[in-house]
Structure 1
C-alpha cells in the first residue's frame, strides 16, 4: 500500500477549519497545508498576538479567535464567537496541549493538564456540536499521544488533590482522556453526519516540550526526539492531516505514524491501548466531564 503523504490531502475549498493552538508546532503546519488546499482557517489561540503572527505564515483565508483552554469562561466566549461568525464548521482540530509542567491549576480549579488537554476541549466541542452536526461531512480530530498507553484515569482523584503529583502521570491521564472522549463521542454521533477521530503525531520537537519540568527529563525527551522522532513538525502534522481529510478514515479510527514505537513515519491506522476501548470508562469520563465543565451535550446518543 502506498505511503500517505501531504500530496494526498484532497481539495479543501469551501471548508471551515478551527485549529486550537494553531500558532505553532503541528497545529500551525496542519493549518498551512489545509489553507493551501483552499480551506478557511480559524486559529483559536490563547495569545492573539502570536496567533496573528501565525496567521501571516498560514496565508489565504485565515482568521483568529481568542481561546484560553484553562478558562471555561474563555471557552464559552470563543464558542459564541465561532458560532456567530461561521454558520457551518467542517473540521475542529483539538490540537492545543500542555506537557508535563509542574503542578498547576486552571482558572476553574482543575489540574492544568487535564483541564487544558481534555476538559477545555470537551467543553469547546460540546458548545460547537450543533454547528458541527449541521455540517455534512464534518469531523472532530482529537490530538492524543503515545503517552495514553501508560495513562490511567483515577476517577477518585482526577485533580491530584490527594495523591502525590506526577507530571508524567498527569499527562498520561489527560492523553488517555483524549482517546476515551473520542470513542464515546463517536458512539454518541452514530447516525450523524459528523465523525470523531483520534490521532497520535509521533514524537515531535515543538513548543510543547517547553513546559516539561526537570532538566534531566527535558534533556531525555530531546535526545529521544533526535534519535527516533519525526524530523520536522511538518512531518508530525501528517497524522493530523490524514485524520482530518482522508475519505477512507472512519469514526473512532486512531491514526499514528507507522514507524518503530509509532514515533515517526507516515500515518497509518493502528489500534490504541486496551484501556482506551473500555466502554465503562468512556461513559464515566463523559459524565464526569459534563459535571465538571457544566457543558451538557444536546446531541443524544442513538438508542438512549
Structure 2
C-alpha cells in the first residue's frame, strides 16, 4: 500500500453509524468468523452483528463463565473455545484445533486487548500490552494462516486505536527493559503494531485474494478501561467530577454498537476490495493526520502507523520472536 491510499471513500456511513446499519445489506450465510474478545464491549456487538447475518462465529475465551453469561441471550451459531492471548501454548492449541475443525475461515477479527495496564510480562518476557495486543494476535494469525490462505476473499481486521499517535514502535527497547515503564506509551506502541501488522499481512494475503485492515473503533466506555482509576479518567476529561461521563465524552464517545461499526465495515464492505492494508475509522478509510489540526489527537492516521518499511520490519521481528518463544 501507499500512504496515498489513506483517503476517505465517502462510504455513506458516519461516526455514529451502528454495526447493524453497516451490515444491513450484507449476507454472511455460510461464512465462518473468529472474533477475539467477542464476549464484552465492542467485541460482543461485533459477534451479535455477524451472527445476525448468518455467520458461524467462534469466540476464543479466557473466562468461560463470563463468556457464557454474556452470550446467553445472543441468537445464532456462536461457539466458544478456550484460549488466552497471553499464553502462547493456548494460542497454538486453539489454532491447531481450528485447523482440524474448520473447512474455511472467512473472517478473523483480532479485537481483544488491554489498555494502559500496570507493567507485567507475558510469554518469554514481552511487555504485556505488546505481548497480548500484538504478539498474541500475531501468533494466532500465523497459526490460522493456511485456513485464511485457502479461503477465497478472506479478511482479517486488527483493532488499532487513535492511541497509535502516542508512540511509534520503540525499536531499541520494545519491552521497556531499560527505560522506565510508561503504560500509555506502551499502549500506543501496541496500537501502532496492530496497524503495521495489518499493513504487512495484506501483502501476504494478496496471492489468495485475502485482505487485511486496521481499524480505530472510536472512544467507547467498555471493560477496556478497567485498569484506569476514576481520577485518571477525570483528568483525561472522560468523566466529570461526579464520576459520570463528561460533556466531551457524551459528544464524542460512541456506544458499543456504534464502536463496532468500523470493524464490521472493514470486515464486509465491497468498497475496500482495492484498498488492502489501510487504516479505517468512522466506517471509512481514515485520512492522514493533519498535524496542526485541533482534531489531530483524535482523528486520522499518523504516517508511522502506515509505513510499509516499518510494517515489514515489525513482521520480521515478530517472526523471530515467535520462533524463539
TM-score over 0.5 (shorter chain): yes
For each residue in 1:25-67, what CA deviation from the matched residue of structure 2 results, as whole angstroms up to 9, or x when unmatched?
0010010011011110111121122222233233211100111
Runs (4+) of structure 1 moved beyond 4 Å? none
Matches of 1:229 and 1:240 in 2, distance apart? 18
Could you tell me how far 1:18 is from its partner in structure 2?
A: 0.4
Structure 1 residue 62 and structure 2 residue 75: aligned? no
Instruction: Give the Cα separation in 1 of the matches to 2:181 and 2:112.
Output: 22
**Deviation by residue 1:78-98 (Cα, 9 ceiling, x = unmatched):** 111211221111000000000
Deviation at 1:230, TM superposition (A): 3.1
Q: Which residue of 2 aligns with 1:216?
A: 231
Q: What pairs up with 1:171-182 in 2 under 5 angstroms?
A: 171-182=187-198
Deviation at 1:107, TM superposition (A): 3.9
Higher relative contact order (CA 8 A, sep 6+): 2
Measured against aligned partners, the alpha-carbon deviations of 1:113-134 in whole angstroms (never above 9, x if no partner) come to 0000000001100110100111
Q: Name the SS for the 1:163 alignment partner.
A: coil
**Do residues 237 (structure 1) and 260 (structure 2) align?**
yes
1:99–1:171: 8 Å Cα contact kept in structure 2? yes
1:147 alignment partner, SS class: helix
- Equivalent residue pairs, number: 286
CA distance in 1: counterparts of 2:86 and 2:257, whole angstroms: 27
What per-residue deviation string (whole Å, max 9, x for no partner) do you get for residues 144-182 of structure 1? 000112222112111001000000000000000000111
**Which residue number in structure 2 is paired with residue 249 of structure 1?**
272
Structure 1 residues 136 and 295, CA gap change in structure 2 (3 angstroms):
farther
TM-superposed deviation, 1:8: 3.8
Contact 1:92 / 1:141 at 8 angstroms: preserved in 2? yes
RMSD in angstroms over aligned alpha carbons? 1.8
Please give the alpha-carbon distance, in whole angstroms, between the structure 2 residues aligned to 1:268 and 1:277. 16
- Which residue matches 1:264? none
Give a deviation string over 1:199-252, Cα, whole Å, max 9, x none. 11000110000123x543233453367244334111100111101111111321
CA distance in 2, matches of 1:295, 1:80: 19
**Partner Cα separation in structure 2 for residue 134 and residue 229 of structure 1:** 40
Query: Residue 279 of structure 1 corresponds to which residue in structure 2?
Result: 308
Which residue in the other structure is 1:40 paired with?
Answer: 56
SS across alignment from 1:128: helix
Where in structure 1 are there 5+ consecutive unaligned residues? 258-266, 297-304
1:293 matches 2:308: no
Match of 1:262 in 2: none
- TM-score norm. by structure 1 comes to 0.89
Alignment of 1:1-304 (within 5 A): 2-3=12-13, 5=17, 6-9=20-23, 10-212=26-228, 214-221=229-236, 222-223=238-239, 226-250=249-273, 251-257=276-282, 267-271=283-287, 272-294=301-323
